[in-house]
Amino acid sequence: MTSERSSRKGGRSRDPRGERGIPEATVARLPVYLRALTSLSDSDVSTASSEDLATAAGVNSAKLRKDLSYLGTYGTRGVGYDVNYLRYQIAREIGLTQDWSVVIIGIGNLGHALANYSGFASRGFQVTALLDSDSARVGEAVGGLKISSLDDLDAIVQDNTVAIAVIATPAEAAQEVCDRLVAAGVSSILNFAPAVLSVPGHVDVRKVDLSIELQILAYHEQRKAQGVLADLDELEAGAI
Amino acid sequence: MTSERSSRKGGRSRDPRGERGIPEATVARLPVYLRALTSLSDSDVSTASSEDLATAAGVNSAKLRKDLSYLGTYGTRGVGYDVNYLRYQIAREIGLTQDWSVVIIGIGNLGHALANYSGFASRGFQVTALLDSDSARVGEAVGGLKISSLDDLDAIVQDNTVAIAVIATPAEAAQEVCDRLVAAGVSSILNFAPAVLSVPGHVDVRKVDLSIELQILAYHEQRKAQGVLADLDELEAGAI
DNA sequence: ACGATTTTGTTCTCGCGTTCACAAACTCTT
DNA sequence: AAGAGTTTGTGAACGCGAGAACAAAATCGT
């Protein structure tokens, strides 16, 4: 997994309330299922088996069935799942039946790209503000929005009832921006800055770190290369 | 974790060779430790305890010690770890003592941002080519590099011994681009396109998906809000 | 020199997540 | 109507990862 939850340790068993809690690993896959269902729906497929869905989502069918069983019993034995019905149920479970207001902090290279990314709006996430600490950039228009000053954070968060923020600042600024976000009432943060953020327990942080991903790939790549060398050694040693 | 390995199922226990295999969860944290060590080194700290390191990396100290123990015994009891020595050892283990050539495919908003991102080069990842299928963009300069045509992929990969590629195309194009990359000999792929890629077993794919991350945050956010409502209900019902 | 203190490396235990395998439930054919 | 064929939902087994806890090893103070 690329990202980590920094708060909320427990899975469903530690839930103080008795209500259905969905395992974290399952939650992380629901959006993938949703995408697969949307794709099938666009292809006018009205019913799909767990095997079909699993293939489309790139997972094993038993896992998919167990994941879906946490939401309820939405399938029909001997038939499969109604694509549109299941799609709605997952969307509702994730919370995509309502719109979410998102602000992006730090409009550098990455912030720019995120502001122009169309994939957000299509899923019910609306970027309502772009903030930057550089006063020279305030007022500049990016992706149909004007950049606001970081000083207006509190007002912006309150006016738009923002719960989710995206940090795309340099690493040095990330913790301070994070603190201000939390103070303003934001309780979910997507962090692109290569920095460890410390937040109060009620705030969720997810991290996306490009250079970490590359390093993980490099590790395995190096390992493959070593394996080849070792195989050659064995070959020379006449072991095979 | 946000991303998934699509190939290579086993952890260290299934390793056919008897050599030390590092658990996947540990591999994913090594880059974080590396960053923490670099930061300490920049602050002229020469020695650090597991507690210090763990705090800087945002993990628990027992976990950190166990992770490091997979690499070897690089600490000194009663003292701690030599920052620069440990840093070198982790870098070597990950494979950062060599340079990695990386190509980026799909120079849209995101590809643009990635091409300009300075965080790659600083960690030994050198972007050697930018590719796009849109012939109108070929030749355009981005971040000091000229965009090449996708048709030149094979030659570029071979000339630069590229093992790692970044896919930043729209979802529709991702699988085809992926197939061509694999055919050209690339065996590690970082995928930003919101699509499930299918690859042969020897190829590693890691996925970074912004909209999935937001959806996971939305789920928890919704859950927090429901919890508040439930608490209010209990209050009204006189349960407290 | 030796006990007190610090801190690592490792063992052990527990819980989560994955997968197998099968009974239950539904459809279809005859 | 009944048996054959499908496909879901779930119980059970298993392996990996997290964290507590402790023994081993180093330093420090006297």
| Model pLDDT, residue B134 | 97
Q: How confident is the model at residue A119 (pLDDT cuts 50, 70, 90)?
A: confident
Q: What is the pLDDT of residue A234?
A: 61
Q: Identify the domain containing residue B51 by its residue range.
A: 24-94
B213/A contact by beta carbon, under 8 A: yes
Q: What is the mean pLDDT of residues A94-123?
A: 94
Q: How far separated are the first and last CA of chain B, in Å rounded?
A: 38
Residues B195, B118 share a domain: yes
Q: What is the pLDDT of residue A232?
A: 60
Residues A70 and A20 sit within 8 Å (Cβ to Cβ):
yes
pLDDT at B17: 43
Does residue B216 share a domain with residue B203?
A: no
Subunit contact B95:A221, Cβ cutoff 8 A: yes
Q: Calculate mean pLDDT across residues A32-59.
A: 98
pLDDT of residue B1: 37
A70 residue type, one letter: Y
* Protein CB footprint (7 Å) on chain D nucleotides: 5-11, 15-21, 24-27
pLDDT 10s digits, B148-164: 999 999 999 999 999 99
CATH number at residue A52: 1.10.10.10
| E strands in B91-201 | 100-105, 125-132, 141-142, 145-149, 164-167, 188-191
- Which 3 state secondary structure label does DSSP give A181? helix
B223 and B203 in a common domain: no
B118 min Cα distance to partner chain A (Å): 10
> Do B161 and B112 belong together in one domain?
yes
Same domain, yes or no: A120 and A201: yes
pLDDT in the model for residue A9: 38
Say whether both B136 and B184 belong to one domain.
Answer: yes
Residues of chain B short of pLDDT 50, as ranges, are 1-18, 240
Q: What is the pLDDT of residue A230?
A: 67
In angstroms, what separates the C-alpha of B95 from chain A's closest C-alpha? 6
Same domain? For B108 and B160 the reply is yes
pLDDT score, position A182: 98
Please tell me the predicted confidence (pLDDT) of residue B237.
Answer: 61
Q: Treating both helix axes as pointing N-terminal to C-terminal, what angle do B61-71 and B83-94 enclose, rounded to 10 degrees? A: 60
- Nearest CA to B138 out of B173, B107, B104 is that of B107
> What is the predicted pLDDT for the residue at A6?
40
Residues B42 and B129 both lie in one domain: no
Does residue A193 sit in the same domain as residue A236?
A: no
What's the Å distance between residue A62 CA and nucleotide C21 C1'?
11
Segment A48-103, tens digit of pLDDT: 999 999 999 999 999 999 999 999 999 999 999 999 999 999 999 999 999 999 99
pLDDT at residue A208 is higher than 90: yes
pLDDT reported for residue A238:
56
Q: How many domains does chain B have?
A: 3
Between A117 and A8, where is the model more confident? A117
